[in-house]
Amino acid sequence: MTRPRSIWRTLSCITRSRPHPPIRSVSTASFINEPIEEELLASDRLDRFHPTSPGQVLDNRFKTIVKLGFGAGSTVWLAENLKFKRWVKSSLPRYVSIKIPALDTDASGELVKSRRISNAQASHDGLSFIRLPIDSFELQGPHGTHLCLVYEPMRETLFHFQRRLPDQRLGPPLFKSYMFMILEALDYLHTHCHLIHTDIKDDNILITIENDKLLADFASHHEKCSQPRHVRAVDGRVTYLSQDDFGSLQGGRLLPKLSDFNLSFPGLPGDKGHLSAIQSHRYRAPEVLLGCPWSYSVDIWNLGLLMWNLLEDVSLFDKPANESGEYDAHIHLAQIVSLLGEPPETLVKRERLYGKARLGRTILNLRGEACGTMNEFWGGPFFDDDGKILRRDLVNEGRKLSDTVTVLTCHEKEAFLDFASGMLQWLPENRKTAKELLEHPFLASCYEGWEPEEEMS
Map out the domains of the chain as residue ranges.
28-152+211-250, 168-207+270-457
Q: Mean pLDDT across the chain, nearest whole number? A: 83
Under the banding of pLDDT at 50, 70 and 90, the label for residue 39 is low
Local confidence band at 432 (pLDDT 50, 70, 90 cut-offs): very high
First-last CA distance in the chain: 22
Is the pLDDT at 420 greater than 70? The verdict is yes
pLDDT: which is higher, 120 or 251: 120
Q: pLDDT band for position 228 (50/70/90)?
A: low
Q: Tell me whether strands 230-232 and 238-241 are parallel, antiparallel or unpaired.
A: antiparallel
Same fold, 28-152+211-250 and 168-207+270-457: no
Q: Which of 4 and 144 is assigned the larger pLDDT?
A: 144
Task: Please say whether the dihedral angle defined by the alpha carbons of residues 161, 134, 295 and 182, taken in this order, is positive or negative.
Answer: positive
pLDDT at 63 over 50: yes
Q: Is the pLDDT of residue 73 over 70?
A: yes
Q: Is 392 within 8 Å of 385 (Cβ atoms)?
A: no
CATH class of 168-207+270-457: mainly alpha
Q: Which residue has the higher pLDDT, 26 or 209?
A: 209
**CB-side exposure of 267: number of CA atoms within 13 Å?**
19
Q: Which fold has domain 28-152+211-250?
A: Phosphorylase Kinase; domain 1 (3.30.200)
Output 305 or 260, whichever has higher pLDDT. Answer: 305
| Cα separations in angstroms, 412 against 188, 354, 416, 443 | 27, 40, 6, 10
DSSP run (H or E) holding 232: strand 230-232
d(CA 228, CA 26): 12
Give residue 446's pLDDT band: very low, low, confident or very high (50, 70, 90).
confident
242 and 230 Cβ atoms separated by less than 8 Å: no
Sequence-distant (6+) residues with CB within 8 A of 434 are 183, 184, 186, 187, 190, 191, 299, 300
Binning pLDDT at 50, 70 and 90, where does residue 89 land?
A: low
Question: What is the distance between the alpha carbons of residues 274 and 288, in angstroms, rounded to a whole number?
Answer: 9
Identify the band that residue 153 occupies on the pLDDT scale cut at 50, 70 and 90: very high
Phi and psi (nearest 5°) for 283?
-105, 5
Please tell me the predicted confidence (pLDDT) of residue 215.
84
The rounded distance, in Å, linking the Cα atoms of 447 and 294 is 32
With a cut of 60, say whether residue 418 has pLDDT above it: yes
Q: According to the model, what pLDDT value does residue 226 have? A: 64
**Once rounded to an integer, what is the mean pLDDT over residues 128-134?**
95
